[in-house]
């Protein structure tokens, strides 16, 4: 958002600014940067880890500590789990990941680059040369907000090499994904990083699981996988939980943790990475109730992103999957989507809510030869394999959505860039400052800091002008700054400056704790 008279930032400018601010202020760093980084891996810095943990805690609170009330007003029963990243490799055979967890990729024989085939956008480009319209061919690039710019730049370069001409602006509405073209059409495409047609290979499946070896022998018998989702660890422990946690149908098992996917083209900052965190919950229920719970969870999750995380409602939507889009395990799926700057005007996935039926338990029961039936003692010992509704969201992607939603740009402020993060999620809740670093003000401010940091993440800062200190906290998304001034010493009051408006109010220092408890919810 731009709130002054200068022209609004374009989506790609906004995205570039967000990535730069995330680095500059210690939210997100490229992983192993001093060695040149590693594509698809990112590290969370001091502010980033606080933000990520706050989102994780909000999810855990809404799922495990205080799960929602069901349609009949009864609190749902959901328990937590923390399973191993590496499980018996048979897990991934039974789940279908060894055979089917793949993306289509295409290699460029000339540039040696590898692309996700459905991410290559192709468009026919025309130019006027010598009074006639000439076909420059079907150019391609990776999809994103800058796709039209990249195609145009490449076409201009080709035209210059041909001796000049006027480019007819490419019509991106006619663009198609590489995978949507026929084999003959694909053979004529000019790859994203080359100038000659026909260098892209036919799309072929590429399994996304990272493999490793367990033990000293690096052979096939010892091959294991880093989990590509946290969900399977939950299915493997379904019986353990049933036997130990006194749960009965319907109930859920929730888990937050790392997942790994060897994505063909990791991109868009932390949107698609090779190592990321998921927040997943498997909700087990009698088969005949699955449809009703599916609808319940889609709406509950959409509301959570709106209300608990505070994402702009107009930038959130529910998208039901068409039947040909469903993963190998689901009978229905809806995504909670967010309008990221790089997806504008479209939306991109934030969370998927899948109706997995009894696919996973059936597979693991057969593969492990373990009876996973539920015995319903309240209903004549009826036996059945429960059906599962799975709200599966990305914690890494949640951080991205929060940063994108919070980013504000206003050249008229002392802090032209600032983050309007919901106070309850803000990494640092309070900046605590003496107005000047003398006359007893630092002593009182330090005392306040020592008291308030016990309940709220706080930063004490006595350096630079007060305006610069406010601007620094605005960039970090800190909702309130408390300043001790001359009047504080005589009247025992402080000023509280509000990040969003820049306005200040004077509060009795003895009332700070209740004031903050209410304001930071
Ligand atoms: N257990 C089901 C499952 O894993 P998914 O749609 O593949 O479903 C769930 O993943 C969520 O995990 C996604 O909605 C997204 O937020 C996040 N996610 C998936 N792949 C990701 C990646 N490569 N980088 C970051 N987040 C990812």
pLDDT for position 7: 80
Burial class, 308, CB count within 10 angstroms (exposed 0-12 / middle 13-18 / buried 19+): middle
Q: Which atom of ligand 1 is nearest to the CA of 278?
A: 12
pLDDT for position 5: 62
Q: Is 378 helix (H, G, I), strand (E, B) or coil?
A: helix
Q: Are strands 504-508 and 407-409 parallel, antiparallel or unpaired?
A: unpaired
Distance 269 CA to ligand 1 centre (A): 15
Four-residue CA torsion sign, 393, 395, 396, 398:
positive
Q: Which two structure tokens, joined as six digits, stand for 1?
A: 């958002």
Q: What is the arithmetic mean of pLDDT over 53-65?
A: 98
Q: What is the arithmetic mean of pLDDT over 445-455?
A: 96
Q: Which one, of 326, 241, 244, 323, lies nearest residue 284 by Cα?
A: 241
8 Å CB contact between 360 and 262 = no
Q: Is 377 helix (H, G, I), strand (E, B) or coil?
A: helix
8 Å CB contact between 124 and 137 = yes
Q: Which atom of ligand 1 is nearest to the CA of 266?
A: 23
Asked if the model's pLDDT at residue 59 lies above 70, the reply is yes
Give the separation between CA 22 and CA 520, rounded to whole angstroms: 23
Q: Which atom of ligand 1 is nearest to the CA of 349?
A: 14
Asked if the model's pLDDT at residue 2 lies above 60, the reply is no
- To test ligand 1's pocket by mutation, which of 40, 258, 282, 394 has the most ligand atoms within 8 angstroms of CB? 394
pLDDT for position 482: 98
Q: Whose CA is nearest to atom 25 of ligand 1?
A: 272
pLDDT for position 1: 47
With cut-offs at 50, 70 and 90, classify the pLDDT of residue 414.
Answer: confident
Q: Which two structure tokens, joined as six digits, stand for 242?
A: 């049933």
Higher pLDDT, 327 or 490: 490
Q: Whose CA is nearest to atom 8 of ligand 1?
A: 392
Distance 394 CA to ligand 1 centre (A): 6
Q: Tens of pLDDT along 355-407?
A: 999 999 999 999 999 999 999 999 999 999 999 999 999 999 999 999 999 99
Q: Tens of pLDDT along 110-128?
A: 999 999 999 999 999 999 9
Average pLDDT, the chain: 95
pLDDT for position 330: 83
- To test ligand 1's pocket by mutation, which of 229, 319, 343 has the most ligand atoms within 8 angstroms of CB? 229
Asked if the model's pLDDT at residue 164 lies above 50, the reply is yes
Q: Tens of pLDDT along 269-302?
A: 999 999 999 999 999 999 999 999 999 999 999 9
Q: Whose CA is nearest to atom 17 of ligand 1?
A: 394
pLDDT for position 328: 72
Distance 216 CA to ligand 1 centre (A): 32
Q: What is the arithmetic mean of pLDDT over 502-517?
A: 95
Q: Which two structure tokens, joined as six digits, stand for 220?
A: 């096939």
Q: What is the arithmetic mean of pLDDT over 147-152?
A: 92
With cut-offs at 50, 70 and 90, classify the pLDDT of residue 145.
Answer: confident
Ligand 1 pocket, CB under 6 A: 229, 231, 261, 263, 272-273, 276, 278, 280, 349-352, 390, 392-394, 396-397
**Position of tokens 């796709």?**
147
């Amino acid at each position: 958002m731009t709130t002054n008279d200068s022209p609004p930032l374009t989506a790609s400018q906004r995205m570039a600014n967000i990535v730069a601010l995330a680095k500059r202020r210690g939210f997100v760093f490229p992983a192993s940067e001093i060695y040149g980084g590693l594509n698809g891996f990112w590290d969370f810095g001091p502010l980033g880890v606080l933000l990520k943990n706050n989102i994780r805690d909000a999810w855990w609170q809404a799922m495990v500590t205080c799960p929602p009330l069901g349609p009949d007003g009864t609190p749902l029963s959901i328990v937590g789990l923390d399973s191993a990243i590496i499980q018996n490799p048979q897990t991934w055979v039974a789940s279908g990941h060894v055979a089917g967890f793949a993306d289509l990729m295409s290699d460029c024989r000339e540039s040696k680059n590898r692309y996700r085939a459905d991410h290559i956008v192709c468009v026919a480009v025309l130019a006027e040369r010598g009074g006639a319209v000439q076909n420059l061919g079907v150019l391609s690039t990776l999809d994103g907000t800058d796709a039209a710019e990249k195609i145009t730049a490449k076409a201009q370069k080709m035209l210059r090499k041909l001796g000049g001409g006027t480019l007819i602006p490419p019509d991106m509405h006619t663009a198609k994904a590489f995978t949507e073209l026929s084999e003959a059409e694909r053979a004529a495409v000019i790859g994203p990083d080359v100038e000659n047609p026909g260098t892209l290979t036919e799309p072929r499946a590429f399994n996304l699981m990272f493999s490793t070896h367990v033990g000293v022998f690096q052979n096939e018998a010892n091959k294991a996988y880093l989990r590509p989702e946290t969900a399977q660890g939950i299915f493997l422990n379904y019986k353990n939980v049933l036997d130990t946690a006194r749960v009965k149908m319907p109930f859920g098992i929730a888990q937050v943790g790392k997942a790994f996917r060897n994505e063909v083209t990791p991109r868009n900052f932390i949107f698609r990475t090779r190592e990321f965190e998921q927040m997943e919950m498997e909700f087990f229920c009698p088969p005949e109730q699955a449809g009703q719970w599916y609808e319940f969870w889609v709406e509950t999750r959409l509301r959570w992103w709106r209300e608990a995380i505070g994402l702009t409602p107009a930038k959130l939507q529910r998208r039901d999957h068409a039947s040909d889009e469903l993963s190998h395990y689901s009978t229905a799926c809806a995504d909670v989507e967010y309008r990221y700057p790089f997806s504008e005007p479209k939306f991109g996935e934030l969370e998927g809510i899948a109706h997995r039926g009894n696919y996973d338990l059936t597979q693991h029961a057969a593969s492990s030869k373990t009876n996973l039936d539920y015995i319903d003692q309240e209903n004549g010992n009826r036996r059945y394999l429960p059906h599962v509704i799975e709200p599966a969201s990305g914690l890494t992607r949640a951080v991205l959505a929060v940063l994108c939603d919070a980013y504000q740009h206003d050249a008229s402020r002392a802090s032209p860039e600032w983050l309007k993060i919901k106070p309850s999620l803000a990494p640092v809740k309070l900046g605590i400052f003496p107005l000047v670093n003398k006359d007893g003000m630092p002593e009182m401010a330090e005392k306040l800091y020592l008291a308030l940091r016990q309940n709220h993440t706080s930063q004490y800062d006595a350096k630079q002008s007060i305006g610069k200190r406010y601007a620094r906290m605005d960039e970090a998304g800190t909702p309130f700054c408390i300043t001790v001034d001359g009047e504080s010493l005589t009247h025992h009051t402080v000023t509280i400056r509000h990040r969003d408006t820049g306005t200040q109010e004077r509060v009795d220092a003895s009332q700070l704790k209740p004031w903050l408890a209410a304001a930071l919810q």
